[in-house]
């Protein structure tokens, strides 16, 4: 099973960079294991650009900051692809969200993952310019790394 892990966010917008930081930590953990065939990348845009990164993979994990006001900062949520709400806008790619982009890609015959899991980490601050995470979100990074690693282990990978 060809798997990709994508850390999504803006590296200079405080907590918005949490997905990128988690992906970097996972990459450090798996880079020394030659038998692991997982691609780990950073992405800075969603929608159609993110969909393009998923082409050719069977499974994708996306780690990103989220702002829901339902959780405390640093809370980690695992979402299936079906948990996301797609827009009705299939005409304009400028504001297309990921579910809509995936739907369009599949209609065009692109080979996209059959399984997409999103790991969302509740952010406290996604507006302040800076590379540092807020305290609660920083504490969530190792926990998010472990949750993704556990998911990979559950599929039988030796990690």
pLDDT in tens, 38-60: 999 999 988 889 999 999 999 99
Q: Is residue 159 part of a domain?
A: no
Unique residue bearing structure tokens 């998010």: 144
**pLDDT score recorded for residue 87:** 47
Q: Per residue in 87-138, pLDDT tens?
A: 444 555 556 888 888 989 999 999 999 999 999 999 999 999 999 999 999 9
Percentage of the residues of the chain whose pLDDT score is greater than 90? 67
Q: Is residue 116 part of a domain?
A: yes
- Tokens standing for 106? 């599949």
The count of domains in the chain is 1
CATH of the domain at 26: 3.40.50.1450
Q: Which range of residues forms the domain containing residue 27?
A: 3-154
Name the strand (E) or helix (H) holding 25: helix 18-30
- Counting every residue written for the chain, the total comes to 159
pTM of the full predicted structure?
0.89
Q: Is residue 10 part of a domain?
A: yes
Q: Is residue 83 part of a domain?
A: yes
């Amino acid at each position: 099973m060809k798997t990709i892990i994508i850390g999504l966010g803006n590296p200079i917008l405080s907590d918005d960079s949490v997905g990128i930081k988690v992906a970097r930590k996972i990459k450090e953990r798996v880079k020394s294991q030659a038998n692991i065939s997982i691609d780990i990348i950073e992405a800075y845009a969603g929608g159609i650009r993110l969909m393009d990164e998923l082409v050719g993979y069977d499974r994708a994990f996306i780690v990103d900051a989220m702002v829901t006001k339902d959780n405390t900062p640093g809370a980690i949520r695992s979402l299936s692809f079906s948990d996301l709400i797609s827009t009705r806008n299939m005409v304009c790619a400028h504001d297309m969200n990921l579910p809509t982009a995936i739907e369009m890609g599949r209609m065009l015959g692109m080979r996209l993952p059959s399984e997409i899991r999103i790991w969302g980490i509740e952010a406290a601050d996604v507006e302040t310019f800076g590379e540092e995470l807020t305290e609660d979100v920083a504490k969530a990074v190792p926990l998010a790394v472990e949750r993704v690693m556990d998911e990979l282990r559950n599929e039988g990978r030796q990690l």
